């Protein structure tokens, strides 16, 4: 029973599939969770009573195929300074997004073959690896969804991207062609560069 402690991460989160997959008996696992007053925060995910829940990690375990994008990626990459009010993800088109949107998640969809383009990960403040789009994919998403952004956030994000030393214009244009926004991006870049 003590070995269940090994599956609790540094932020107090415990995944049932990790412990049970490593050979811990299901009934022992659930007895441990109950006796130590773990809170169930998502199917198969529990946290210690004294821990803060990591909403991004919970959403990631709930929908592991999804990638944090748009507002979320713009904020993480420092392209906008306003933290998103809702978590924002991208998932493939045929995925049933009803439960996600009902729980307050902003969801964008793309063809399955475009989902992984620009996918990377970052380690959040809880120590969890979270899937997110890179800078260039984020700019393509910004352009594609420009009508859904406030004009000042849109302009600020583009100006911030152009001023960055780590921008990759070649990669940006490769992605832009895949998403059919290459002419629009080229126009913005000509004005800003």
The pLDDT of 63-86, averaged and rounded, is 93
Mean of pLDDT values over 10-32: 92
CB within 8 Å of 166: residues ≥ 6 apart: 135
The Cα-based distances of 105 to 19, 50, 55, 89, 174 in angstroms read 28, 26, 11, 8, 29
Q: Give the mean pLDDT of 85-100.
A: 94
Distances (CA, A) of 188 to 6, 10, 155, 166, 185: 51, 44, 10, 18, 5
Average pLDDT value for residue range 172-188 = 95
What whole-number distance in Å separates Cα of residue 161 and Cα of residue 180? 20
Q: How confident is the model at residue 1 (pLDDT cuts 50, 70, 90)?
A: very low
Contact 14, 3 (CB under 8 A): no
Q: What is the mean pLDDT of residues 88-100?
A: 94
In this prediction, residue 2 has a pLDDT band, given cuts at 50, 70 and 90, of low
pLDDT value, residue 124: 92
160 in Cβ contact with 78 (< 8 Å): yes
Using one digit for the tens of pLDDT, what is the confidence trace for 106-164? 999 999 999 999 999 999 999 999 999 999 999 999 999 999 988 888 999 999 999 99
pTM over 0.85, yes/no = yes
Q: How high is the pLDDT of residue 150?
A: 87
Indicate if the pLDDT at residue 100 is higher than 60: yes
Domain edges within the chain: 2-53, 63-192
For the residues 61-73, what does the mean pLDDT come to? 95
Q: How many other CB atoms are found less than 10 A from the CB of residue 7? A: 19
């Amino acid at each position: 029973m003590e070995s269940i402690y090994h599956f609790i991460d540094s932020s107090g989160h415990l995944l049932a599939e990790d412990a049970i997959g490593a050979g811990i008996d299901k009934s022992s696992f659930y007895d441990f969770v109950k006796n130590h007053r773990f809170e169930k925060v998502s199917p198969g995910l529990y946290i210690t009573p004294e821990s803060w829940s990591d909403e991004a990690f919970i959403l990631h375990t709930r929908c592991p195929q999804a990638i944090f994008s748009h507002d979320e990626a713009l904020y993480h990459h420092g392209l906008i300074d306003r933290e998103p009010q809702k978590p924002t993800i991208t998932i493939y088109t045929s995925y049933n997004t009803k439960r996600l949107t009902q729980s307050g998640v902003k969801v964008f969809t793309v063809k399955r073959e475009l989902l992984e383009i620009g996918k990377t990960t970052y380690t959040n403040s809880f120590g969890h690896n979270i899937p997110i789009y890179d800078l260039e994919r984020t700019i393509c998403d910004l352009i594609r969804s420009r009508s859904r952004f406030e004009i000042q956030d849109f302009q600020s994000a583009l100006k911030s991207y152009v001023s960055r030393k780590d921008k990759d214009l070649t990669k940006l244009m490769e992605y832009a062609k895949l998403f059919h926004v290459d002419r629009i991006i080229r126009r913005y870049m000509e004005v800003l560069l």
